[in-house]
Structure 1
Amino acid sequence: MMNKVDIHKRSIRTREKRTTVKKGFQKRFRISGTKKTDLFFFFARLVKMKFGKELASQIVPEWQGAYMDYNNLKKLLKHILRFRQQNGVTSSGHRASPKRRVTMYRAFSGLTNRYNNFRAGSPRKNDDEVILVGSVQQEDSENCYQTMFLRSSDAGGEHELVFFKALDDEFNKVLKFYKEKVREVKGEAEELSKQMEALIALRIKVDEPGVEQKFTSESSSGYSRPATVVAPKPGSRMEVIHEVEMSSEGTSGDEPIRTENRKINTGGFKPTSLDVLGRVTLNVDPETPVSTLRNIITSSKSELSFSREELRKVEEQLRQAFAQFYQQLRFLKSYCFLNMLAFSKIMKKYDKITSRNASRSYLDMVEKSYLGSSEELNKLIERLEATFIKHFANGNRRNGMKSLRPKRKKERHRTTFLLGLFTGCSIALVIAIIVTIHARKLLDHQGREQYMEAIFPLYSLFGYIFLHMLMYGANTYFWKRYSVNYPFIFGFKPGTELGFREIFLVTSGLSVLALAAALSNLDMEMDERTARFQMLTELVPLGLVALVLLITFCPFNIIYRSSRYFLIRCSWHCLFAPLYKVSLPDFFLADQLTSEVQAIRCIQFYVCYYTLGDFTKRSVTFLENRTYEIFIIIVAVIPYLSRVLQCLRRFFEEKDKSQGANSLKYFSTVVALVFRSIYDIRRIPFWRILATSSSGVTTIFNTYWDVVIDWGLLQRNSKNPWLRDKLLVSNKAVYFVAIVVNILLRLVWMQLVLDIEDAPFLHKRAMVALVACLEILRRGIWNFFRLENEHLNNVGKYRAFKHVPLPFHYADEKIM
């Protein structure tokens, strides 16, 4: 047993070792500061977790095909290990004798190690050399690295040849991808530099309108140079900018800037030329329907107006562009770090299995290659940080880095606790409602028919919303499990996206409110003491709707405000579909609304119930009104018309023929829905023929589009027969089951037009609600595979970042 002194010494050695490792990582990857960094945390987790799993959790999902295939190389090493174990191959590559171990035949060195001392300066032959690594020039003028294995004649050498061939392929793949990405970010950096020059000139023009520059044109040289710059007023924002600029060019930051003479001493400071403003226009991104209509009449680019509002929008756009570009640089740096660490790990595993010393030669090559020796990315990150801090944080590094680095989402235990509490309360309320119905025999009550016609539609609205949120929470869980990058696809602000726990928490909270209101309504109606308060009893559902709307539009930063505002913004874009640029969250939400037709009709029922009839007597005579019947049709087709307009706008903007076909699909659904609704009201054979034929056509059209276009399945020549080349779910039967279920649930859509008799134990209202719930379930299944296909498309094109539109458009490519 170890004593306290030994334990203390061991803890000191462990602490020193961790400090050395941390300093090494900080030196290699230029990690500044004493605060623990993400890379060090990553290295610390490697001690407790297998590297393969940690690598899979740290990679950029859209770049997963560009990372080193660590698992495949591990399999090749297992083949080598299995061969050596089965054939008794030793470290020297020869088969071991079954009688005695090789170590028993080693030369005896003596008890005093007298033969272990070699003479100084004696030549020693490098007999343990295993591999030779060199670069080879390819036809496309790109260098690739090849490894020559010098022990191929040893037993099992053919397996090691296969390993090094695969290792070279992986390294060349990583190196090529890294070079391409560095080349891309350098081009983006040049574009941002142009934007910054225009921004600084715009700031000078807006903040100091009296600032003028006189230029002497030199036709022979073809350029203009500034002659005189009037100094900004003391205390203005531009004075701070000039001060930061001068300090960055080498002047002392402690010396005050003198501006009494209204002339800036340009020694050590190069003022920005304002002539750049004459060669740029604004890229106007329509934010409102009015601006969209204005751009249709005029142009998408406008001249500078030099207003403060214009400057604010330009600064906000560039701030977002810098933050997005910084994230791209960080991911690229992490890509370099993870791959270098992966090559180090796999080579050490090779040395351990084969008892060779090949890792040193190979890792030296990795260090000397562009992947390990290039400092362009680190310099670009440093310059970007300095530029952002200087121009967007007034020199405050803490605020600047806080804006650049995304906020990490914090997991809170109270979320899980409240989820369990609300779930338990929901189950208890459901049991209480069932007991109340059976105890008071409400199913046989004479007011049952009136209750189903008047009250059931009011509460079924929350049932539809609850089921849809439940399916979305389940989708979120499976997206995260199968590494679908849904926050990036939907465009959520980093750190604000809701996980499945938060979604289930909101869902369970809504269920508690709805079930408590339904139970209180039943209790108040049946209790003799509260039966006379008829108006109060009937206002309970309306109060519940008012409470939900109040929470949804609450301006305070509570109950996931950013997500609520994101939903409101996307809903607004869907309402005015052709007047906003269509993004994936917009048309994805519009698709969800097409499955909530009955919920939208419930909202119409709410409005008519509490305004047109006598709700205290549960009067629903408005159901037979001709105007109400017309609005039933109009309200049902609104989500589909929104999708038609979205597809048409994308068709004209993107010139994508598939969007034109998609618009026809939704238009056929609108026609079928109109005929169905008319037949449901009139019950005339002529309308039944139209409804049946149109519903059949749109069902076939929609089913084909779901499976083939949206999911990307049923590809005849794919690696996975009748599916697609890449699948996230390993069990292929899941996809075939999803296809069959989608077809069956699509056929349920035709239940009304086929005159299928309702179940005798279900009311007509309950049957309609059941069909609507099945459509919501189908939409939940569709959501998972639709986003899986979108994620795989992004992976195939390495799209890991959103394109942020830049504010300025240059008339020419050259700046100066």
Structure 2
Amino acid sequence: MKFGKEFATQMVPEWEEAYMNYNQLKNLVKEILIFQQRQTRSLNMMKPHSKANSLKRKGSLFRTYSGLTSRFGNASVRRDKEEEEVILTSVNADEEHGECLKYQTIFLRSSDDGGEFELVFFKRLDSEFNKVVNFYREKVEEVVKQAEELNIQMDAFIALRIKVTKSAAVTPVMERNTGEVSEQHQEIRVDDAKEHKVASLDVLNRIKLNATIETPRSTVRSVFNSLNLDLQFNKNELKEAQGKLKQAFIEFYEKLRYLKNYNFLNQLAFSKIMKKYDKIAKRNAADAYLQMVEESYLGQSDEVAKLIERAEATFIKHFCNGNRSKGMNTLRPKAKREKHRVTFFVGGFFGCVLALVVVIITDMHTKDLLNNEEKTQYMNTIFPLYSLFGFIVLHMLMYAGNVYYWARYRVNYSFIFECKPGTELGFKQVLLVSSGLSVVTLAAILANLEMDMDPNTLSYKAVTELLPLGLVIVVVLIAICPFNFFYRSTRYFLLVCIWHCICSPLYTVTLPDFFLADQFTSQVQLLRNLQFYVCYYGWGDFKKRNAQTCNDSSIYKTISIIIAVIPYWIRFLQCLRRYFEGCDSTQALNGLKYFSTIAAVVARSMYSQKQGMTLKIIAASTSGIATIFNTYWDLVKDWGLLNKNSENPWLRDKLILPERSIYFIAMVLNVILRLAWMQTVLDFQEAPSLHRNALIAIVASLEIIRRGIWNFFRLENEHLNNVGKFRAVKSVPLPFSYEDADKNL
């Protein structure tokens, strides 16, 4: 792999703009090469004939012989040295940035042919180098301040642990500066036998516990009490503080690793580009420039390396009981290794899916099931039962496509979703789950058809109807299985997000929570199919394969309306929670958007159950308003598009996809697919040969596809917002707050 590609793949995605622009500098070097090639061709065309060359050589034969040594030898060496000197480097104070230094290169050969190209190269090179140094300096200052805060937090934690465990004394984890890093900040370190002190319990008189509003209990408690709670000195407080500090150390250490990698990659990039320049321009400037790089803050600063060492030692000692292997596995989780068996099984499952589809279609055709009198009965009962799995599989396929393109265009989806490192599913894993579920579902459908048609199994008709229910039970059992198999961490993460959605607004709303709730707003038909499961099997209709009881029940119809409203109601409550926590008016408008959608869903559902011109007008008007509101929000707020003053007209300043036309196509598809969803509720003219349930399933599938498209651009916009803020690690709330402003312990 060429260095340029390797350099790009190893960048921290959110810091990409802060890295040296290697490709741009490489293109400038290529311009120098192109100029030289043109000059060479011009000289070859103007080159004298052989006669002139012979005269030149002959003239040289009559020159005075100067011997093997000459009294002008030293002057010649000095002249060669001057000719070899290409650049001069200097360091000046940058008035715009206070105490920051500005590195500058003076090119001494600008009068040479093509020197203007080399002059442009060095100006750009200096600009990139100053950008890198200033960014690195800022980030180092940030981690130094974070180290100071962690020092203070750890002192309080140690004191709390002493108080809770009633120990006589314990070696503190964090101390003041020992001079190993700098005289201006504290450092994270492990105390040795020479330097230790008894942890002071006086700090407990000046701190309070930060109770973050993360659970229903803490939410209710926050309504009546302040979030800064007095310490009760119990084990629960100690456990909570330890958990928060442990996570804070993990995120802090990850940022240190990012900085170390940033430093190394950029120094390597400057070395590579200078060597490429020397080779093409036939200069000898690399040594002088790289010496400046080596002597700069980028090359001389060692704060990050020291903080890494001390953070490792502190974490291992106080959060892993001295177990270095366990501690390092937590701080540096191993990268996931691609398993070939996943690819093998995905291919095998998709082959089985194709074979089962062919068998089912052939079976239906040979037994003339499409013209059978039981066709309507099948479509009213069996089809809704199995279409539930179709909606799940389609959504997973769209998600697999999203993951593939997020990874391809370096959208850091695992960080955005706050997945535990190394547990996020790649697109192949998602395809494995979806294809496996497809095989099981199609096999059940085929078994259902065969048992219905086989005279020997007609007496087991009720058992035949239990196949879809059994499949649902198996899927649910796998999802909640506590054993460590079949992507347990991902299953647990999904269940936690579902629980947070159910308990809205009692939990703090995170991006995974509202992102999942948005997925449910596109799976209304799946939720109604689950309702049909409860009715069909709960009221015993499966014994006679007749859903008349469900269809004629007013309770069932009322619950159907409530089921359709639930996803939007969850999002409405989440918006309210975020509004009251952050006083963000945007969240209030977003909540109003979902409330308008709730009104439209209720009106449309009532119209579908009770026909009437008044209800039709209300349904059409509320649906129109909600559709316009939702479409505007999708394109402008969620995708960040339709900005006429952007560098990319009617899009946004920064785009990930190389083709701008894709964004316009996505916007048009979003509008069309939203309008298609209205067909099921406004009861437009249906295709005469298509059953209503089939039409509902098709339109529901279009909505799932629309959501899949929305997912990609929504996360792209979120990623670009993180890039704009250089946010590459999670911000973790710390457990303690101090009453005194200076925090001196």
TM range (shorter): over 0.9
Equivalent residue for 2:126, pick from 153, 157, 168: 168
Distance 1:787 1:624, change over 3 A: same
1:60 partner letter: V
Equivalent residue, structure 1, for 2:193? 251
Instruction: Give the aligned residue type for 2:744.
Output: I
Over 4 Å off, 4+ runs: 94-97, 100-109, 113-123, 238-242, 247-250
User: In structure 1, what is the Cα distance between the partners aligned to 2:523 and 2:391?
Assistant: 7
Of 469, 487, 506, which aligns to 1:579?
506
- Matched letter for residue 399 of structure 1: K
Q: How does 1:79-118 map to 2 (within 5 A)?
A: 79-88=31-40, 98-99=47-48
Shift of 1:762: 0.9
2:739 aligned with 1:811, yes or no? yes
Percent identity over the alignment is 57
Deviation at residue 240 of structure 1 after TM alignment: 12
Aligned residues of 2:532 and 2:550 also touching (Cα < 8 A): no
The aligned counterpart of 1:136 is 92
Distance 1:326 1:95 in 2: 59
**Structure 1 counterpart of 2:311:** 384
What is the deviation of 1:396?
A: 3.0
Give the one of 617, 636, 656 matched to 2:564. 636
- Is the counterpart of residue 566 in structure 1 residue 493 in structure 2? yes
Letter in 2 for 1:781: I
Within 5 Å, which residues of 2 pair with 1:649-660?
649-660=577-588
Q: Deviations over 1:283-337 (max 9, x none)?
A: 1124431221112221212122222232122112111111111010000010011
Please tell me the residue identity of whatever aligns with 2:259.
L
2:531: which partner in 1? 604
Equivalent residue in structure 1 for 2:630, among 693, 702, 705: 702
| 8 Å Cα contact 2:444-2:467 kept in structure 1 | yes
- Which position in structure 2 is the counterpart of 1:663? 591
C-alpha distance in 2 between matches for 1:526 and 1:556: 39
How far apart, CA to CA, are the structure 1 residues paired with 2:238 and 2:564? 44
- Counterpart residue number, 1:263: none
* Residue number in structure 2 paired with 1:124: 78
Cα distance in 2 for residues equivalent to 1:96 and 1:365: 41
Residue 659 of structure 2 is matched in structure 1 by 731
Any residues of structure 2 matched to 1:287-298 within 5 Å, and which? 287-298=214-225
Contact 2:172 2:196 survives alignment (8 Å): no
Whole-Å Cα distance in 2 between the matches of residues 103 and 789 of structure 1? 66
What is the CA deviation profile of residues 634-670 of structure 1, one whole-angstrom value per residue up to 9, with x for unaligned ones? Answer: 0000000000011111111111111111111111000
1:202–1:306: 8 Å Cα contact kept in structure 2?
Answer: yes
Q: Output the amino acid matched with 2:422.
A: G
Matched to 2:674, the amino acid is R
- The equivalent of 2:181 in structure 1 is none
SS of 2:88's equivalent in the other structure is strand
CA–CA separation in structure 1 for the residues paired with 2:488 and 2:103 = 52
Give the structure 1 partner of residue 104 of structure 2. 146
Distance 1:411 1:319 in 2: 29
User: For 1:78-124, what per-residue CA distance to the aligned partner results, in whole angstroms no more than 9, with x for missing partners?
Assistant: 1111111101299xxx9996248999989999xxx956999899973
Q: Distance in 1 between matches of 2:647 and 2:73?
A: 63
Aligned-pair CA distance for 1:754: 4.2
Q: Which residue of 1 aligns with 2:448?
A: 521
Deviation of the 1:791 alpha carbon: 0.6
1:79-478 equivalent positions in 2, closer than 5 A: 79-88=31-40, 98-99=47-48, 124-125=78-79, 126-127=81-82, 128-140=84-96, 141=98, 142-208=100-166, 211=167, 230=168, 249-251=191-193, 269-478=196-405
Q: Give the letter aligned to residue 701 of structure 2.
A: C
Q: So what's the TM-score if we normalise by structure 2?
A: 0.93
Residues 172 and 703 (structure 1), Cα distance of their counterparts in 2 relative to 1, 3 Å cut:
same
Q: Pick closer, same or farther for the CA change 1:195–1:87 going to 2, 3 Å.
A: same
Aligned partner of 1:327: which letter? E
Instruction: Report the CA distance between 1:733 and its aligned residue.
Output: 0.9
The residue type paired with residue 643 of structure 1 is R
CA distance in 2, matches of 1:507, 1:554: 18
Question: 1:73 maps to what in 2?
Answer: 25
Partner SS, residue 723 of structure 1: coil
Query: 1:381 Cα shift?
Result: 1.2
Contact 1:692 1:753 in 2 (8 A): no
**CA–CA separation in structure 2 for the residues paired with 1:103 and 1:524:** 98
In 2, Cα distance between the equivalents of 1:136 and 1:727?
A: 36
Distance 1:117 1:339, change over 3 A: farther
Q: Report the counterpart of residue 182 of structure 2 in structure 1.
A: none
Distance 2:191 2:373 in 1: 88
Residue 250 of structure 1: how far off its partner (Å)? 4.5
Cα distance in 1, alignment partners of residues 128 and 357 from structure 2? 57
Once superposed, what is the RMSD of the aligned Cα atoms? 2.5
Amino acid paired to 2:89: V
Alpha-carbon distance change, 641 to 138 in structure 1, aligned in 2, over 3 angstroms:
same
- Is the contact between residue 714 and residue 722 of structure 1 (CA under 8 Å) also seen in structure 2? yes
- The answer to whether the aligner puts 1:790 opposite 2:718 as a matched pair is yes
Structure 1 residues 392-432: Cα deviation after superposition (integer angstroms, max 9, x where no partner): 22333222222211231121111111111111111111111
SS in 2 for 1:533: helix
Q: Which residue identity lines up with residue 251 of structure 1 in the other structure?
A: A
2:733 alignment partner AA = P
Amino acid at match of 2:397: L
Q: Deviations over 1:180-207 (max 9, x none)?
A: 0000000000000011101111111112
What is the aligned counterpart of 1:503 among 410, 430, 434?
430
Partner SS, residue 458 of structure 2: coil
* Contact 2:388–2:529 (8 Å) recurs in 1: yes
Q: What is residue 686 of structure 2 aligned with on the other side? A: 758
Q: CA separation of 1:675/1:117 partners in 2, compared to 1, >3 Å: closer, same or farther?
A: farther
Question: Is the 1:613–1:622 Cα contact (8 Å) retained in structure 2?
Answer: no
Q: Which secondary structure does the structure 1 equivalent of 2:226 belong to?
A: coil
Give a deviation string over 1:193-227, Cα, whole Å, max 9, x none.
Answer: 0111011111111122xx5xxxxxxxxxxxxxxxx
For 2:392 and 2:604, the matched residues in 1 are separated by: 24
Please state if 1:58 is matched with 2:10. Answer: yes
**Cα–Cα, structure 1 residues 123 and 469, in superposed 2: closer, same or farther, change >3 Å?**
closer
Say which SS state the counterpart of residue 496 (structure 1) adopts: coil
Distance in 1 between residues matched to 2:635 and 2:380, nearest whole Å: 37
After TM superposition, list the pairs within 5 Å mapping 1:670-709 onto structure 2: 670-709=598-637
Task: State the secondary structure of the residue aligned to 1:577.
Answer: coil
CA distance in 2, matches of 1:696, 1:116: 96
What TM-score does the superposition give when structure 1 sets the normalisation length?
0.85
| C-alpha separation in 2, matches of 1:116 and 1:103 | 28
Maintained 8 Å contact 1:287/1:580: yes
Measured in 2, the distance between the counterparts of 1:776 and 1:624 equals 29
- Tell whether the 8 Å contact from 1:95 to 1:155 is kept in structure 2 after alignment: no
- CA shift at 1:714, angstroms? 1.1
8 Å contact 2:190–2:313 — kept in the other structure?
no
C-alpha distance in structure 2 between counterparts of 1:131 and 1:120, whole Å = 23
Change (3 A) 1:668 1:368: same
Q: Report if aligned partners of 2:154, 2:173 keep a CA contact under 8 Å in 1.
A: no
Is the Cα–Cα contact under 8 Å of residues 600 and 623 in structure 2 kept in the other structure?
yes
Q: 2: CA distance between counterparts of 1:396 and 1:279?
A: 33
